[in-house]
Amino acid sequence: MIKKVIGGLLLAAGLGVAGLGLKPWILPNQTQPTPDQRYTLALLSFLSAPLGAAGTWLLLVPNSQQKTNQAATSTAISKEILDDLVTDIELELAVGDSHLSTTDVETDIDRDLATDGSLLQRLAQVSDKVIERAMQYPVARFDLTPQEMSALCQLGGHDFCIDTATDQEIPVFTFIVEDISTVKALFQDMYVNFDIRWNSQGKLAFHLDVPDRNMIPWAIPINPTDMEHLQQGAAALNLCLPIVQNDQGESIDLKKFAWDVTYDWSQTYAQAHQAFTENSLTTAKQLLLQCLAENPQPAPAVYHLLGRSVKGLGELDQAIDYYVKAIALTRDATGTTLLPKAAGILSDLGVAFKQKGDLPRAIHCFLHSLTLRPNHPAALITFATLFTRTPGLMTYCLARVMVIDPRNAWLPTVIQNCARSVKLTPEQLLTRVRLGVRWAEDLSHWPLARPELKTYQSFKAGLDDARRVAKKPHASFSSLG
């Protein structure tokens, strides 16, 4: 802006000086200028040319900041557009036409993106040099192998502490790490999962896992003689307190992932989990049904694993029923807010609805899941495949996966399938995804998040709305599930 003002002043000065120098010849009067005056006027006429040229150049040539802003615009999707996407989807699916299909939703999103120019159109305008630089752009802030992540913790044990407010004993599971700064980077912006199941030695253990990093879990074996005491302590406040600390006592607070999480401490669930990992789905199903018979108020993990088992056996409708029951149990003490642990169940439910062709309900589940756990690669990938006709949203999700887990085994296949949908080669789409890493690397922010998407009421209301059933579902390729 300052350059424009200066340019205007210089141009005006140049014209003024030119007028003074040329006036005696343009408007001659009776008094002729002296030789000295003629010399001065000629000099003024001469100076007017560079002044006018400099002013014109400043007015017409864009400044460096403008160029920077234009480059940034060409490589970043508007956050305002992304913020509007969830509103459009939710409004149309919740109160829209009863004949609403996913095709209609995608068309509306395409229209919104076109208002400010779609990401694909912007990327097409980026120079070859910028595209080439994007291919060398680092694709992850944290890049350890699963084995290296597992090796960060070498020791652990369990004990009890006293809650001063209630005077209740709380089970405490302490994981000792040496390099706590690396562990903080491992946990940053990630969901941390806890579960009780068999460890690699076949003993019941408390597990800590960062599933979105594809980490091999850390496990603390449970002493059988302490089992009853641990169960009673966990039931008192519905809490097992996990602590990660180093030898100097520096620790990482993980309570937000542990509050109100209910565990199944039985050997039966542990056996079922082991059978599921070995793909013995019928055995897992039988053991989990036994868990339900033994405990009328099971942990959510029982229903969740049962849903995954029967889905693998082809019982899709039964799996959906079990997933919904698991989500109903995965709420905080008030019963209103979904726990972060519900995100994985919501994602599995979304995949099941996608396989049924009920894409609006699938979208509904993924919007809730990704609000609770925005860096879940499997959910991001499946969500992206629901919007292959919306290049901006699809590219954003795939770029986010690349930031979280550059080794993700699904990415090459998904990029190849999505590329056909947007009429690009896999190499071209991969280039755009890598370029998108620049604006997807802020893993602390999920553009589609809304407070109401964390509530059970929002999930249940949308699920029960019969108008969400897609009449003309559109899917570009089969489910990843």
pLDDT given at position 39 = 53
Provide the mean pLDDT of the chain. Answer: 78
Lookup: tokens for 253: 């607070």
Higher pLDDT, 67 or 41: 41
Q: What is the mean pLDDT of residues 306-314?
A: 97
Q: Does the structure show a pLDDT above 80 at 34?
A: no
The pLDDT tens digits for 158-183 are: 999 998 888 889 999 999 999 999 99
Write the DSSP assignment of 91-154 as a string of letters. HHHHHS-TT--HHHHHHHHHHHHHHH--HHHHHHTS-HHHHHHHHTS---S----HHHHHTTEE
Q: Does the structure show a pLDDT above 70 at 293?
A: yes
Lookup: tokens for 32: 């002729």
Q: Are 155 and 218 in contact (CB under 8 A)?
A: no
Distance CA 82, CA 396 (A): 10
Confidence category of residue 436, pLDDT binned at 50, 70, 90: confident
Residue 323 has a CB neighbour count (10 Å cut-off) of 26
The full set of domain ranges for the chain reads 2-61, 75-126+363-481, 146-259
Confidence category of residue 101, pLDDT binned at 50, 70, 90: very low
Q: Are strands 241-245 and 168-177 parallel, antiparallel or unpaired?
A: parallel
Confidence category of residue 97, pLDDT binned at 50, 70, 90: very low
Confidence category of residue 47, pLDDT binned at 50, 70, 90: low
pTM score, two decimals?
0.72
Confidence category of residue 392, pLDDT binned at 50, 70, 90: confident
> What Å distances lie between residue 261 and 36, 157, 173, 307, 327, CA to CA?
96, 20, 14, 19, 12
pLDDT given at position 261 = 94
pLDDT given at position 302 = 97
Write the DSSP assignment of 332-390 as a string of letters. -TTSSBB-TTHHHHHHHHHHHHHHHT-HHHHHHHHHHHHHH-TT-HHHHHHHHHTTTT-
Alpha helix positions (H), 27-101:
35-60, 64-75, 79-95
Q: Are 468 and 358 in contact (CB under 8 A)?
A: yes
Q: What is the mean pLDDT of residues 9-32?
A: 53
pLDDT given at position 67 = 42
The pLDDT tens digits for 136-145 are: 545 556 778 8
Which of 369, 362, 364 lies closest to 385 in space, CA to CA?
Answer: 362
Confidence category of residue 393, pLDDT binned at 50, 70, 90: confident
The pLDDT tens digits for 268-289 are: 999 999 999 999 999 999 999 9
pLDDT given at position 236 = 87
Which of 469, 358, 347 lies closest to 397 in space, CA to CA?
Answer: 347
> What Å distances lie between residue 97 and 53, 240, 289, 464, CA to CA?
61, 46, 40, 16
> What Å distances lie between residue 100 and 106, 114, 354, 466, 473, CA to CA?
11, 21, 16, 11, 9
Ranges 5-9, 257-261, 334-338, 399-403: which has the least confidence: 5-9
Confidence category of residue 41, pLDDT binned at 50, 70, 90: low
Q: What is the mean pLDDT of residues 6-23?
A: 54
Confidence category of residue 389, pLDDT binned at 50, 70, 90: confident
pLDDT given at position 330 = 97
Confidence category of residue 76, pLDDT binned at 50, 70, 90: very low
pLDDT given at position 129 = 42
Distance CA 93, CA 132 (A): 40
pLDDT given at position 460 = 93
Q: Does the structure show a pLDDT above 90 at 27?
A: no
Q: Are 235 and 171 in contact (CB under 8 A)?
A: no
Q: Does the structure show a pLDDT above 90 at 156?
A: yes
Q: Does the structure show a pLDDT above 70 at 474?
A: no
Q: Does the structure show a pLDDT above 50 at 480?
A: no
Confidence category of residue 12, pLDDT binned at 50, 70, 90: low
Higher pLDDT, 47 or 149: 149
